[in-house]
Amino acid sequence: MSLTFYYSPMSTAMITDVVLEELGMPCERVTIDLKKGQTRTPEYLRLNPNGKVPLLVHDGTPIWESAAITLYLGEIFGVAKGLYPPPGTERGTAMKWIVWANVTLGEAAGRWMRNTSEYYPAEQHNAKAAEAAKVDMHGCLRILDDALAGKPFLLGDYTLADAHVNSVIGWLRFMAVDFSTYKNLNAWSDRCAARPAHGRAMARAS
Ligand SMILES: N[C@@H](CCC(=O)N[C@@H](CS)C(=O)NCC(=O)O)C(=O)O
């Protein structure tokens, strides 16, 4: 079995890093320097034509998109390790949160970033669009906070859905989103961050 993980510290690839750490998967890690354009080389684009990290190559097959990678790793390796549910309703719940984090929350957060962040040219910022995106993003965070009421983790027990969704939340914390009103969510993030796998991934990134 061969597994190669292309990753950059403090990027979307952190999601996959935490997932791989949780699974304890031996893999070859290739650190990509985004500032040097290392995702734009012909060799890299052959593996991921999107020119982005994370990228996982499993037995010669490239898998890209962080949500797809988590679902794939969960299905192939996570069930036996008790970190991902077998096919059924619990699997559906895990998939729901993983896809929601990237698509629904990620879309609102990405829109907010594009209209506020210094990573995007100020002349492209639109104050009204930023405000609308902020409302949508906080609507998503409220949904997550409510879902975590009375539960230690999204499915009760810890799964890769927690690793994935909390890593997306970590990106929003890094972008200085105000989390002060999300009591359940903050307590859950603390529980996720207390896991040794999370600590190992964070230590590697810093
Ligand atoms: N939807 C993709 C997003 C991946 C993504 O945007 N990766 C960024 C880093 S956070 C990247 O590799 N950017 C490289 C570039 O644009 O040159 C996923 O979830 O995997």
The CATH number of the domain holding residue 186 is 1.20.1050.10
Q: Would you state the pLDDT for residue 104? A: 98
Domain that holds residue 68: 3-82
Q: Candidates 6, 7, 10, 12: which one to mutate for ligand 1, based on the most atoms within 8 Å of Cβ?
A: 12
Q: Using an 8 Å Cβ cutoff, are 148 and 154 in contact? A: yes
In this model, does residue 52 exceed pLDDT 90?
Answer: yes
Give the total residue count for the chain: 206
Q: Which residues line ligand 1 (CB under 6 A)?
A: 11-12, 34, 39, 51-54, 65-66, 102
Q: Which residues contact 183 (CB under 8 A, 6 or more apart)?
A: 145
Q: Which amino acid type is present at position 134?
A: K
> Does 117 lie in the same domain as 187?
yes
> Does 105 lie in the same domain as 76?
no
Residue 149 CA to ligand 1 center (angstroms) comes to: 32
Q: Using an 8 Å Cβ cutoff, are 193 and 163 in contact? A: no
Give which of 53, 54, 68, 56 is closest to 25, Cα–Cα.
Answer: 56
Residue 52 CA to ligand 1 center (angstroms) comes to: 4
Q: Which residues contact 137 (CB under 8 A, 6 or more apart)?
A: 105, 108, 109, 111, 112, 172, 177
Q: Using an 8 Å Cβ cutoff, are 24 and 47 in contact? A: no
Domain end residue (candidates: 23, 47, 82): 82
> Does 109 lie in the same domain as 180?
yes
3-state secondary structure of 57: strand
Q: Is 182 a domain residue?
A: yes
Q: Candidates 10, 52, 114: which one to mutate for ligand 1, based on the most atoms within 8 Å of Cβ?
A: 52
Which residue do the tokens 């207390």 mark?
Answer: 194
Domain end residue (candidates: 82, 106, 124): 82
Q: Is 55 left (phi over 0), alpha (psi -120 to 50) or beta?
A: beta
Q: Would you state the pLDDT for residue 206? A: 86
Looking at ligand 1, which atom is closest to the CA of residue 102? 19
pLDDT in tens, 73-131: 999 999 999 999 999 999 999 999 999 999 999 999 999 999 999 999 999 999 999 99
Strand 61-64 relative to strand 3-7: parallel, antiparallel, unpaired? unpaired
Number of domains in the chain: 2
From atom 8 of ligand 1, which residue's Cα is the shortest distance away? 52
- Average pLDDT for 125-153: 98
From atom 15 of ligand 1, which residue's Cα is the shortest distance away? 52
To the question of pTM greater than 0.95 for the whole model, the response is: yes
Q: Which amino acid type is present at position 107?
A: E
DSSP 8-class letter at 85? P
Q: Is 128 a domain residue?
A: yes
Residue 89 CA to ligand 1 center (angstroms) comes to: 30
Give which of 80, 46, 77 is closest to 64, Cα–Cα.
Answer: 46
Average pLDDT, the chain: 97
CATH code, domain carrying 17: 3.40.30.10
> Does 131 lie in the same domain as 73?
no
